[in-house]
Chain A
Amino acid sequence: MRHAIEVEGLTRRFGRGAQEVVALDDVSFTVGAGEILALLGANGAGKTTLAKILSTLLLPTSGTARVNGLDIVRDERKVRACTAVVFGGDRGLYGQLSALDNLRYFSVLNGVGRAGLQARLQGVLDEVGIAHAADRPVETFSKGMKQRLHIAIGIISQPQVLLLDEPTVGLDPIEAQRLREAIAGLRSRGVTVLLTSHYLLDVERLADRVMVLGNGRISHDMSLPEFVRQAGYAAMVVITGSGSAPRTSALAAAGLDEAARSDDGHRWEVRIRIRQWSPDIFAIISHTFADSVVDDVKVEQVRLEDAFAAVTGRAR
């Protein structure tokens, strides 16, 4: 697989002497062309610093980084010509100007030529779903509309590498889903995406691979299914019922974890963590709850939050 991003021994320090902070410490990794890599980590882990270096906003203290084979220090202008950065948020746009004016200006700055520009502007606004508000001042936009305009500015120059920092922050679920669909569409066009997000739903829906940064270093780098497995369980069975609560000692004897239990005297809920599915599990559960009044049984998939908590717990 051709590498769209190659990072080797990247280090970035801020400040000097006793005040020195190491934001990135000897970080090395590659991202294949067309791959979506999710970059996770607690606040201050170095995610934004890494995104800023790859987008040429910051210089590394040492180490190298290449985007499409171009060095981010020596070939900065060429790197910018094939890369788009979407940092999102309320800022970064001219509020008094229309969406169309903002988009047109930043498109030309990013190298989009005059030929077919008008059609492309309209097409991208359509794609992100704000064509109806193209002539409205951006200061009248909702947060979601501003975020979609940021994405439009990012994709109009047809970048080969897209750096996305918290793309769905502050969006309602429908807006966020719409945005995820737009980003997923980029994958089908072969765009490489480096996604930084605290919203693990973004990661779950979009990422091929997950990299976790902790204290400026890479603590984990794995495929999404592998990352999910880090949670330590395959699913959670949630059983609710009424009347007297069941005795669940048989669960532990059979190797199943009772993750949580609640009981208010009338209704009870038992949560059972399944490490690995097997046909015996149904028999054990059936036997354990045979004398109880069961109202509902649900199977919940692994939560990415649990996987994240598990890996960051190990990273600390």
Chain B
Amino acid sequence: MRRDAATAGPVLALVESARIQFHLARRYPMMIVLNVVQPLALLAIVLQRTDNGPRALGELLISVLLTCYWGNIIWTAGGVLRRDRMSGTLARTLLNAQDGRLIIVGRCLGAMVTSLVTLAITSAAVLMVAQRPVELPGPAWLAMGFAGVAISGTALGLLLATALLHSRHGVEITAALMYPVFVFGGLLVPPEAVPAALRWLSWLISLSWARDFMVHADWLAGLGLILTTAAYVAIGARLFQRTLDLARKEGTLDLV
């Protein structure tokens, strides 16, 4: 009576985790706020100014998308484990025949791709209605940029999901994380408008690098995106393992 574990490899587990998160995210009311209401509001403000040319509008569009995407990272990917804890599915998600990190990465990836696709559809619909020409980087840059953003969002999701699992106040912390990045992340508020002593904060935020990469076609910014993402992965994976080890040792996390 051996199960065919060999065929249920990491790829299938990753894909299935992403698929289930897509189905869960579709039913998550916050998705409407983050991917429809918020981009609509921000784009309406941006489009009110008629003196923005196609290039400036393209830059603002990317900034709006990434700002809304940040909300998705912290609320959907960052909340994956917190919500599993609430529904009592944490033990099954973390402790099974697969590597728990892989499952969380799959879940975060599912959340991030769902959010990017929904944001892209909302933005395209708004621009079509507004009938304003937009100049975006070439398709290759855009594709690389969005792939980088999806991967980076997934990595940050792993880190935040694990970090927020430690606290009973995950919702409050998530809400508090929203605005510092809006202000200091270099996405909507230009870095020049931020006090010089605080500008370095945007270096820690991968989306800030991603914006520069897509808007200015800057390879150096691409390197920044890769390095910050790698740091998120390293810290997230380590924190995840420590959390799991501690949970099994101390009997915490309400694993059942």
Which of B6-14, B157-165, B190-198 is found at the contact surface with chain A? B6-14
For residue B167, CB closer than 8 A to chain A, the reply is: no
> Is A108 in contact with B87, judged by CB distance below 8 angstroms?
no
Q: Beyond A105-B20, A157-B3, is A57–B89 a contact (Cβ under 8 Å)?
A: no
Please determine whether A109 and B248 come into contact, CB atoms closer than 8 angstroms: no
Q: How many residues of A contact B (CB 8 A)?
A: 43
* Closest CB in chain B relative to A238 CB, distance in Å: 42
- B91 interface residue, CB < 8 Å from A? yes
Q: Is A130 an interface residue (CB 8 A)?
A: no
Chain A residues with CB under 8 Å of B9's CB are 113
CB-CB nearest in chain A for B98: A109
Does B16 contact A113, Cβ atoms closer than 8 Å?
no
Verify if A114 is at the interface (C-beta below 8 Å from B). Answer: yes
Q: Main SS of the interface on chain B? A: loop
Whether A77 contacts B97 in the complex (CB less than 8 A), given A57-B256, A111-B4, A160-B1, comes out as yes
- B interface residues, how many (CB within 8 angstroms): 35
B5 partner residues in chain A, CB cutoff 8 A: 81, 111, 113
At the interface, yes or no: A11 with Cβ under 8 Å from chain B? no
Convert B224-242 into 0s and 1s, putting 1 for each residue whose CB lies closer than 8 angstroms to a CB of A. 0000000000000000000
Cross-interface CB contact of A108 among B13, B24, B251, B256, cutoff 8 Å: B13
Contacts of B92 in A (CB 8 A): 92, 106, 109, 153
Chain B hits for A76, CB < 8 A: 95
Residues of B within 8 A of A (CB): 1-9, 12-13, 16-17, 19-20, 23-24, 27, 87-89, 91-93, 95-99, 103, 248-249, 251, 255-256
Interface residues of A (CB under 8 A from B): 14, 48, 52, 55-59, 76-77, 80-82, 85, 87, 89, 91-97, 101, 104-106, 108-115, 153, 157-160, 189-191
- Please list the 9 inter-chain residue pairs (A to B) with the smallest Cβ-Cβ separation, ordered nearest first: A113-B7, A91-B88, A111-B97, A111-B5, A109-B96, A113-B4, A81-B97, A108-B16, A113-B8
